[in-house]
Amino acid sequence: MTSDDNNRGLRLPANYYPKSSPQMSVLFIEPDHANAERLSRALTNLSAVAIVPSAHAAINAISLHVPSLIVTEIDLPDANGLELIARVHATPAMRHVLLMVVTARTGVRDKINAFQSGADDYLVKPLDPAVFALRVQLLSRFRKVISNSSLTL
């Protein structure tokens, strides 16, 4: 489920490539694999999940498959997660991707920066997996409503 730290041989789970399935694909960008694994288990009935430890690995994963949702920590070993969010948000072919920050940072300025970068949600660790799953469902519902209306994000 993860790539190695050098991103050689990046392997994503086979079910991460939903074809016509209503299932979401979620890309976790989280250096703490145990935390990402704990949260991803809450999504097993809703989503196909891949976990990568860095922004570089995330870019490689996105080049293989654009996910429905990207969940990222701000503090990544090789980049700032908000830079990655801004890059995804600014890419027209990826404007449909939901962007969520899950971080230990609690500052108001951090939250403002995340939303200004294009994040759709901001959650603070430690996070209950059930609450996380509900927030993912809520974001997905919002996206469906907006995509079926004349509203834009």
pLDDT in tens, 77-124: 999 999 999 999 999 999 889 999 999 999 999 999 999 999 999 999
Segment 61-82 shows an average pLDDT of: 95
Q: What's the CATH fold of domain 23-147?
A: Rossmann fold (3.40.50)
Percentage of residues in the chain having pLDDT higher than 90: 65
Least confident piece of the model among 4-18, 54-68, 83-97, 128-142:
4-18
Provide the 10 A C-beta neighbour count for residue 54. Answer: 20
Name the average pLDDT for the chain.
85
pLDDT tens for 122-147 read 999 999 999 999 999 999 888 777 76
Predicted TM-score (pTM) above 0.85: no
Residue carrying structure tokens 């694909």: 25
Beta bridge partners of 69: 26, 98
The conformation of residue 89, written as its DSSP 8-state character, comes to H
pLDDT for 9: 53
Tell me how far the alpha carbon of residue 118 is from its chain's centroid. 12
